[in-house]
Chain A
Amino acid sequence: MLKRISALILAGATALTMTGCGSSDSGDSSVGSSGGGAKDGKIVMGFAQVGAESGWRTANTKDIQETAKEAGVDLKFSDAQQKQENQIKAIRSYIQQKVDVIAFSPVVESGWDTVLKEVQNAKIPVILTDRAVDSQDTSLYKTFLGSDFIEEGKKAGQWLVDQYKDSKDDVNIVQLEGTTGSAPANDRKSGFEEIVKADPKFHIIASQSGDFTRAKGKEVMEAFLKSNPDIDVLWAHNDDMGLGAIEAIEGAGKVPGKDIKIITADATHDGMQALADGKINFIVECNPLMGKQLMDLAKKVVNGEQVPQRVVTEETTFTQEQAKEVLPSRKY
């Protein structure tokens, strides 16, 4: 019985890998045609995306695909489903397909040296988007295009300082951190604290991780509300935790945005809606629409022009009034 099952599973697995080969074959054949396209001056870009884990990421993917079409770039897109090995596989296949430029958002920071060396040997330039790698050898990639999370934290802190510049009273702040150890959580925290700590009237009285999720944001905020009766400001590292916290604040009989001022980061659709509704006071944008900048960089890199090692995505901030204005035309 067991033997038969394992045989079945094995057969299934082979069938799967075979379809896998089949699909990559078709990918290869399309490269043949696009190789022809490259002769007409069309740039072929291989892009290895992290996955589709959030609305932010989907907007990022869509924007890159759309701007590639507009810019006349032939885009080879792969979704790594949040696994590094998938991404490495995708990059290796791009090397074989001899694309002109490879762009990718590394799933994790470490472990890229080997595959990036292979890319370098194949003389294909690399652009990192959104997330960095921790490799010592910066010659492995041309440039890193992405948000500056420290700057985002600073913007949030600066808005708060400006809001309270005329007041002498103490301001009690609670902080909902992102997933412990992740770059946006670390950097948004340190950027914010750097600005706020300059003035002794600001006190960060509690700070816990809400894992970037609504459910955890709500749960942690409930606990904050009970153990700290006087909370003036909430700084949440993303919109979702802020949205969860809003529910907790309402459940405690307080008015979010008035009794407790709320600052978040990201500017997702739901977050912007809450901002327009007056439940959030300020949102620092973390812009997923980096396609245009990416295509410009890709063209420069392929033409052998110099590009800066670090390019920060164009990002802004939103107040409640601005949110009402831009909300109808937001892409994500």
Chain B
Amino acid sequence: MNRILKHRLFWPVVVLVALLLLNLVFTDGFFRIQMKEGHLYGSLIDIFRFGAPLILVATGMTLVIATSGIDLSVGSVVAIAGALACMQISDLSDQNSVTGVLSAVGIALVLSVVLGLWNGFLVAGIGIQPIIATLILMVAGRGLAQLITDGQITTVQSSSYKLIGGGYWLTLPFGIIIVAVVLALTAFLTRRLALGLLIESVGGNAEASRLAGISARGVLIMVYAFCGLCAGIAGLMISSNVSSADGNNAGLWIELDAILAVVIGGTPLSGGRFSLSGTVLGALIIQTLTTTIYSIGVPPETTLLFKALVVTIVCLIQSPAFRSKVFHRRRRPVAASAAPEEKVRVSA
């Protein structure tokens, strides 16, 4: 019991379960999953579908934060990738042609990686602080996305492009499959190979790792490029889901949600270690919260306040310092049962 309590993912899981329970009480049929039009259909599926881009962006962000950096430009990269792909596809004579769509997707992803490399170059090559270096692309990138789409919303009619973010494969939303593949690859590269260790050591102390023979600069550049790639894929998903590119609004503020997901997942902003599973949990918590707000009908005027309250509570109960201050005078098991009760009360 004590070991479960001490597990670093215990509290995020508690929060997620509490949110789901809230829906069990307030929303009819929240847990019902049906087959419709040959694919799975239900609120839980929605959480995964709409959460998929956030999970991707947050995965890239996790590795960047593990190097004690931060990438504010992911929202702009999301917009640019979607804009570029949609522009390419809208120029095709046959928008459904698979090769045409694939090349559009390829070009968009290559550009995303290049943008990531640019960030990495600014951070590792020139030594600008990450928050400033990526702020440049955050601001400029949105302009670039609007330049690509000419400030308009570009609509495409391509069933092959639609598959990425809005389609289904083997009854599962295709976006979820992409996320699963990217996550599996990332987990393999960072946890089965030494890469994760290198990233963490650079985050812990870049100079010391360099002296120990790790190419800190190379690791940093690679991590930012990977973050750009993740944001690019997320951008394709978001734009493909609605078959259009919106340079202004696509991925707006997603960088903040991604950072929040990483933090909820227990990766410290100071870097040096990271938890991919925690990040996925964090992203799912954020998306569940959003879906919950829509389902139980929190008035739009109070939505932000409601979100802020839940996030504050999540962060507080996750903080060991806070827990020990509030609960430690009592016996520990009491503390464990008291926390979820408090959550439900506030959320209701």
- Seen from chain A, the residues whose Cβ lies within 8 Å of a Cβ on chain B are 1-2, 5, 52-55, 57-58, 177, 180-181, 206-209, 211-215, 218-220, 222-224, 226-227, 229, 240, 243-244, 247, 251-253, 270
Query: Which residue from A207, A219, A240, A243 sits with its C-beta under 8 Å from B300?
Result: A207
Nearest 7 CB-CB pairings of A with B:
A223-B294, A52-B151, A209-B300, A214-B242, A227-B295, A213-B249, A226-B43
Question: Could you tell me the distance between the alpha carbons of A210 and B238 in the complex, rounded to whole angstroms?
Answer: 15
Question: Could you tell me the distance between the alpha carbons of A215 and B153 in the complex, rounded to whole angstroms?
Answer: 12
B67 → chain A closest CB, angstroms: 20
- The B interface is mostly helix, strand or loop, or mixed, namely mixed
Query: Which residue from A55, A220, A224, A243 sits with its C-beta under 8 Å from B152?
Result: A55
B255 close to chain A: CB less than 8 A: no
Chain A residues whose CB sits within 8 angstroms of the CB of B320 once the complex forms: none
Chain B residues whose CB sits within 8 angstroms of the CB of A181 once the complex forms: 301
Question: Could you tell me the distance between the alpha carbons of A272 and B107 in the complex, rounded to whole angstroms?
Answer: 32
* One of B24-32, B91-99, B205-213, B221-229 at the interface: B24-32
Contact in complex: B166, A247 (CB < 8 Å): yes
B32 → chain A closest CB, angstroms: 8
Chain A residues whose CB sits within 8 angstroms of the CB of B293 once the complex forms: 208
Residue of A nearest to B46 (CB): A222
Say whether, besides A177-B300, A252-B41, A226 and B29 are in contact (CB < 8 Å): yes
Contact in complex: B303, A211 (CB < 8 Å): no
Query: Which residue from A54, A180, A224 sits with its C-beta under 8 Å from B294?
Result: A224
Contact in complex: A215, B242 (CB < 8 Å): yes
Question: Could you tell me the distance between the alpha carbons of A222 and B152 in the complex, rounded to whole angstroms?
Answer: 25
| Interface size classification for chain B | 35 or more
Query: Which residue from B151, B242, B297 sits with its C-beta under 8 Å from A208?
Result: B297
Contact in complex: A223, B248 (CB < 8 Å): no
Query: Which residue from A53, A219, A252 sits with its C-beta under 8 Å from B248?
Result: A53
Residue of B nearest to A223 (CB): B294
- The A interface is mostly helix, strand or loop, or mixed, namely helix
B128 close to chain A: CB less than 8 A: yes
Question: Could you tell me the distance between the alpha carbons of A251 and B301 in the complex, rounded to whole angstroms?
Answer: 28
Chain B residues whose CB sits within 8 angstroms of the CB of A252 once the complex forms: 36, 41
Residue of B nearest to A53 (CB): B248
Contact in complex: A240, B166 (CB < 8 Å): no
Residue of B nearest to A215 (CB): B242
B12 → chain A closest CB, angstroms: 23
Say whether, besides A180-B300, A215-B238, A270-B155, A227 and B27 are in contact (CB < 8 Å): yes
Say whether, besides A54-B153, A54-B248, A270-B153, A226 and B30 are in contact (CB < 8 Å): yes
Chain B residues whose CB sits within 8 angstroms of the CB of A227 once the complex forms: 27-30, 43, 294-297
A315 → chain B closest CB, angstroms: 21
Contact in complex: B241, A218 (CB < 8 Å): yes
Question: Could you tell me the distance between the alpha carbons of A243 and B243 in the complex, rounded to whole angstroms?
Answer: 10
Say whether, besides A223-B294, A240-B153, A253 and B36 are in contact (CB < 8 Å): yes
B62 close to chain A: CB less than 8 A: no
Chain A residues whose CB sits within 8 angstroms of the CB of B250 once the complex forms: 215
Interface string of B112-135 (1 = CB under 8 A from A): 000000000000001110000000
B59 close to chain A: CB less than 8 A: no
Query: Which residue from A207, A214, A222 sits with its C-beta under 8 Å from B153?
Result: A214
Within 8 A of A (CB), among B40-97: 41-43, 46, 50
Question: Could you tell me the distance between the alpha carbons of A128 and B194 in the complex, rounded to whole angstroms?
Answer: 62
B146 close to chain A: CB less than 8 A: yes
Q: List 17 A-B contacts (CB under 8 A).
A: A55-B151, A181-B301, A206-B297, A207-B300, A208-B294, A209-B303, A212-B249, A214-B153, A214-B244, A215-B241, A215-B242, A215-B249, A219-B294, A226-B30, A227-B296, A253-B41, A270-B155
Interface string of B289-326 (1 = CB under 8 A from A): 01101111101110100000000000000000000000
> Which of B151, B293, B301 is most buried by chain A, counting CB atoms within 10 A of its CB?
B151
Residue of B nearest to A175 (CB): B300
Contact in complex: B46, A214 (CB < 8 Å): no
B200 close to chain A: CB less than 8 A: no
Question: Could you tell me the distance between the alpha carbons of A272 and B104 in the complex, rounded to whole angstroms?
Answer: 28
Contact in complex: A211, B249 (CB < 8 Å): yes
Contact in complex: A5, B126 (CB < 8 Å): yes
Residue of A nearest to B36 (CB): A253
Residue of B nearest to A181 (CB): B301
B285 → chain A closest CB, angstroms: 16
Chain A residues whose CB sits within 8 angstroms of the CB of B151 once the complex forms: 52-55, 57-58
B248 → chain A closest CB, angstroms: 5
Contact in complex: B146, A52 (CB < 8 Å): yes
Chain B residues whose CB sits within 8 angstroms of the CB of A54 once the complex forms: 151-153, 248
Chain B residues whose CB sits within 8 angstroms of the CB of A5 once the complex forms: 126-128
